Amino acid sequence: MQNNFIRIQANIMANRNTEEKGFDITLSVRGVLISGTITTKDEFYAAPQNSHLKRMLDYSNEMFGEVRDEDMFSEEPSLYLKDATYLTGNQMIPSSNGIYISVDLDSIDAFNIGKIEQK
Q: Provide the pLDDT confidence category of residue 66 given band limits of 50, 70 and 90.
A: low
**Of the candidate ranges 30-34, 40-44, 80-84, 108-112, the one whose mean pLDDT is the lowest:** 40-44
Residue 119 lies in a domain: no
Residue 117 lies in a domain: no
CATH of the domain at 97: 2.30.30.100
Question: Which carries the bigger pLDDT value, residue 40 or residue 69?
Answer: 40
* Structural domain for 104, as ranges: 4-112
For residue 33, the cross-strand partners are: 28, 87
Residue 57 lies in a domain: yes
pLDDT at 65: 67
Residue 27 lies in a domain: yes
Residue 42 lies in a domain: yes
Residues 6+ apart with CB under 8 A from 2: none
What integer is the mean pLDDT of 76-94?
Answer: 89
Number of domains in the chain: 1
pLDDT at 70: 45
Q: Provide the pLDDT confidence category of residue 90 given band limits of 50, 70 and 90.
A: confident
Residue 96 lies in a domain: yes
Spatial contact of 91 and 71, defined as CB atoms under 8 Å apart:
no
Residue 98 lies in a domain: yes
What integer is the mean pLDDT of 65-79?
Answer: 61
The proportion of the chain whose per-residue pLDDT surpasses 70, expressed as a percent, equals 75
Instruction: Please tell me the distance from the alpha carbon of residue 12 to that of residue 23, in angstroms, as a whole number.
Output: 12
pLDDT at 42: 83
Residue 118 lies in a domain: no
What integer is the mean pLDDT of 64-70?
Answer: 56
What integer is the mean pLDDT of 89-98?
Answer: 84
